[in-house]
Chains A and B, each alone.
Chain A
Amino acid sequence: MTAATIAAPVARRSHLAARVTPLDGVRQTLSLSWRTLVQIKHNPFELMDFSIQPVMFLLLFTYVFGGAISGSPTDYLMFALPGIIVQNALFTTLNTGVGLSTDLEKGFFDRLRALPIARFAPLAGRIVADMVKQAWSVAMLLGVGALLGFRVGTNVAGVFGTFGLLLVSALAVSWVIVLVSMLVASPEKMQIFGFVVLFPLTFLSNAFVQTDSMPSWLQHVVKVNPVTILSDAIRGLLVSGPVATPVWQSLAWALGLTAVFAPLAVRAFKRRS
């Protein structure tokens, strides 16, 4: 068979739709999430990024720092696992940015945008896929944590609440990442952004250590850092301690970030692609 026999155009003028139906848009979003997730099959490094790396972090923090910080690795694990989960969620949002800027740079987006598909599908597909990855990493960290001696001090509702709050927060941060990736449009620069902004942000919080030994000026910084608030919320949901206040504050942050950055990100996305 030759190219000629299978390329012959078909006449279908009479029933061309004027626009995409919402249902088709959802279907196209799911097809594009499948595309992002099936990549893992071919790119084991990415799997390492969001499976092995967090587990390595967990092991190193627990066994190297744990004894020194909390007296015993297990005590430290009870404190730090929620923080490590938050840190990992934050870093996983970088995937969205790296993926989007790669698609832009390589021209895959042009191919998609010349197809009769919903304009939101390429962005939504990427975000949905990354939310699946997020849920997977949280589940994995909880599983490995349990093997190492972490015990949920609350109940099933707390665990579901953890997943829900993390996904909402990660989605909110994704809008910032999408905006940045549209502005820098290079996967390498996206990684640098992660290192320069997300790294200090997670370390200037109580994700890994109690704040009381820090200088008082630093304590003020740490206290207002949303990473601290979210870590406290996850601690409350999974271990013990106040739940309502940090959860509401986290949701407020998520809402605020989404309200400011989602429109900016979508506008930048439309303009760039």
Chain B
Amino acid sequence: MTDSIVAEGLTKRFGETVALAGVDLAVPPGTVFGLLGPNGAGKTTTVRILATLLQPDSGRASVGGFDVVRDAHRARQIIGLTGQYASVDETLTGLENLQIIGRLVGQSRGTAKARGRQLLAAFRLDDAGDRAVKTYSGGMRRRLDLAASLVARPEILFLDEPTTGLDPRSRNEMWDVVRELIDTGVTVLLTTQYLEEADQLASRIAVVDHGRVIATGTPDELKSKVGALTLAVRPVRPEHLDVVRRIVADLALAPPEVVQTLITAPVARPEVLPMVVRRLDDAGVLAGELTLRGSSLDEVFLALTGQRPDELNDTADTDNLVGSLA
């Protein structure tokens, strides 16, 4: 079966800024694909191109087999877009927002209203459906946003940072909704800044940085490569620093980092924790601080981009600068 979403060598510039430097993606039907990266990595630009909002400077992309530039109108009939930048009208009620979209995609007045009510109920917004959206909480707004992108029953759904700015409870609710959607067979492309979110929802992840895909794989593949967890140990006595560093280095995926008396390193599995405790105990080291937590995106990037191409470029630039000064 052919892939639902395909991107080949997408590039895009905004003036001097290179937003995309050649992005390739392939998403099989009925799966969830996570696009993980920091602000400005090119996630939103990629989604905007795939959702027909922006034309690439070069490269090609298709959704459901339809080219997003040449066959944009057909592409638009099978996609749904929800995101930080695709929002609803705050002055209208939740129901009116859904009705408008229903009418725009060709539903009759009655169908649009019925479908609107149905979606409100499914997203637990039925009580708020007749209230203006500006009175909604952040979580309610995102749910309405998602409902709005489902009015026309899309085959392919783009979720651009669906939980950015939400509190943990709303985020969990949103995740539950997305999981339910996945079960219906919709193909989902999700962008996020949170490793945990991609891990929770996606079956494959592409890590993007500076407009490039720098790593792809299943969440497990990525985690075993970069470490999903970060181990941090702070010995009570500074003279134990070396011993502790050696113990951590034995168990970690990458050389430990030492900041003052705190030693941190990426690790793959939570089983590492009891092992560390045992080894520290054997060595007679008392730890004042010992934690295992989910790695932040920064830490993933540090692990992934040990010698990334643009660091080399930066060095080259510095050399040129020094050369020209001399």
Contact = CB atoms under 8 A, between A and B. Distances in A.
A259 B287 CA distance: 77
Interface stretch (A24-32, A77-85, A133-141, A149-157): A24-32
Nearest to B87: A107
B86 interface: yes
Nearest to B143: A3
Contacts of A10: 153
A112 interface: yes
A6 B100 contact: no
Interface string B215-252: 00000000000000000000000000000000000000
B307 interface: no
A269 to B, nearest CB: 14
Contact of A107 (B86, B91, B106): B86
Interface in B67-104: 71, 73-74, 76-81, 83-93, 96, 100-101, 103-104
A4 interface: yes
A75 B281 CA distance: 100
Interface string B234-273: 0000000000000000000000000000000000000000
A47 to B, nearest CB: 12
Interface in A95-147: 103, 106-108, 110-117, 121
Nearest to B145: A111
Interface in A7-43: 7-10, 12-13, 16-20, 24, 28, 31-32, 34-35, 38-39, 42-43
A107 B85 contact: yes
Contact of A114 (B81, B90, B180): B81
B76 A1 contact: no
A interface: dominant SS? helix
Given A1-B121, A4-B181, A18 B153 contact: no
A17 B76 CA distance: 11
B117 to A, nearest CB: 11
A2 interface: yes
Contact of A31 (B52, B84, B104, B121): B104
Q: Which 8 A-B residue pairings sit nearest by Cβ, starting from the closest?
A: A116-B76, A107-B85, A4-B180, A114-B81, A107-B87, A110-B86, A31-B103, A9-B155
Interface of A: 1-10, 12-13, 16-20, 24, 28, 31-32, 34-35, 38-39, 42-43, 103, 106-108, 110-117, 121
Interface of B: 48, 51-53, 64, 71, 73-74, 76-81, 83-93, 96, 100-101, 103-106, 118-119, 121-123, 132, 146, 148-150, 152-155, 177, 180-181, 183-186
